[in-house]
Copies of this chain bind each other. A is one copy, B any other.
Amino acid sequence: MRMVLCLLVLVLGTPLVSDSRGQSAQERSRPVNPVVSGRWSLIADFYGTSVNFSLKLNQDGDKLTGIFRGSPLEGSLQGNAISFVVNGEQGDTVECRGAIRDNTISGTLLFANTNDPGPATTVPFSATLVPQRNPVIPQKHEFVPTAFYRDFSAARKPALTVSPGDTIHTTTIDAGGTDENGVVRVLGGNPETGPFYVETAEPGDTLVVHLTRLRLNRSWAISDDLVVSRGLDNNLAVKMKDVGKPVRWHLDAQRGVATLEKPGEHLARYSVPLRPMLGCVAVAPPNPVAAPATGDSGVWGGNMDFNEIIEGATVFLPINVPGALLYIGDGHAAQGDGELNGNALETSMDVEFTVEVISEKHLMGPRVESATEIMAMGLGGSLDDAFRTATASMAQWLNEDYKLTPSEVAEVLGTSAEYKVSEVADRNAGIVLKINKIRLQALAPGVK
């Protein structure tokens, strides 16, 4: 079986209906007790497994409208009794019955499908009001990590809780687990700093991570001299059969270059410009799924190994669990496209970033923005799959943010798309579709 059975696939994987309607119910003047309108963080207990859902309620007298996991709902409020129904696609329905007390809604969700003669699934839930965003001045946090994690778990206790707008200054250790002092802190495999819990972040939102500082904090990196299998045809595989040893690079921050510590005879004068980047930026994946290893990637980001995630860049990721749970790690002093050696110039890093949350904006995958370009990443089991996904993700971006029709999307992509191979060293291959912002200026929202 593919993933999660039948009805639950829809519950957990996709909105019940694909387009959203009727969210604009206006609120009347007469205030009502209790407070129901707003965004709720809902956790349901599926036979022992906690599953998060996004819920937005708009109250108008005793009528309720809103959005449950991306699909419109209709219901009523009678005293403190609350009920609503969601009618989704393919016959899926959700009925909620609960009661509100002390700013918490408790009750049951009943998942059914009109095509399925079998019994419905009824699970208990409780929901708490998502706090309004803190209007106070953004804070800056100094965070000294003491533990580093080797999976992107949604179940991990946050290392630090921050608010949207806050800035965090911290460090990452290298992919092998060694810190800026050369001390091994943990077994290798991209151990991560974090996770950071971002207040008000809920499933269905987008996390924004703006990298304000990304600097080297030691003078060496480790890599190796192989070419990963995705880069080898049969002849090159034979030629490369005897390579694969560890290689150390000297990082000269003054001159801004990296050089091999023990170069072969033809590379004695070879150097590459330092261009520090983060291999890993991730939010926690949807919680019912087992935690991925920190070598993996997905629509939630992860080990993307994309060499445009540098100082000044902004990363956008679709949030799956309350607080988003942001992980960062795997700094590279420099990296060619695709991380062809398996290891880039792996090193520890001094990192500062600002987080932001965009409410109720759902991305189909990671996006990156630089001063000059917008970039949509596709990740998949082959470059061909990654290419399709990158194209579809950018099409979503142009459609949703620039209001382009399918025909207009095609015309812009056909004339302005730039594709780059971001990653070939991991289980997922990555391709990034970039568009120069100059091309989009005439399309910008607000421009007439």
Contact = CB atoms under 8 A, between A and B. Distances in A.
Interface residues of A, number: 151
Contacts of A65: none
A371 interface: no
A243 to B, nearest CB: 5
Interface stretch (A77-85, A126-134, A264-272): A264-272
Nearest to A10: B244
Contacts of A90: 243-246
B416 A113 contact: no
Contact of A116 (B226, B246, B335): B246
Contact of A184 (B121, B175, B246): B121
Contacts of A189: 3-5, 8, 288-289
A408 B245 CA distance: 12
A177 B392 contact: no
Interface in A181-222: 182, 184-190, 220, 222
Contacts of A293: 289-290
Interface string A420-433: 11001111110100
A5 B266 contact: no
Given A115-B246, A118-B220, A247-B411, 15 more contacts: A2-B339, A2-B343, A4-B187, A5-B189, A5-B346, A6-B223, A47-B177, A258-B415, A260-B411, A290-B292, A334-B415, A336-B413, A381-B385, A382-B384, A384-B429
Nearest to A89: B244
Given A113-B246, A266-B408, A392-B236, A6 B222 contact: yes
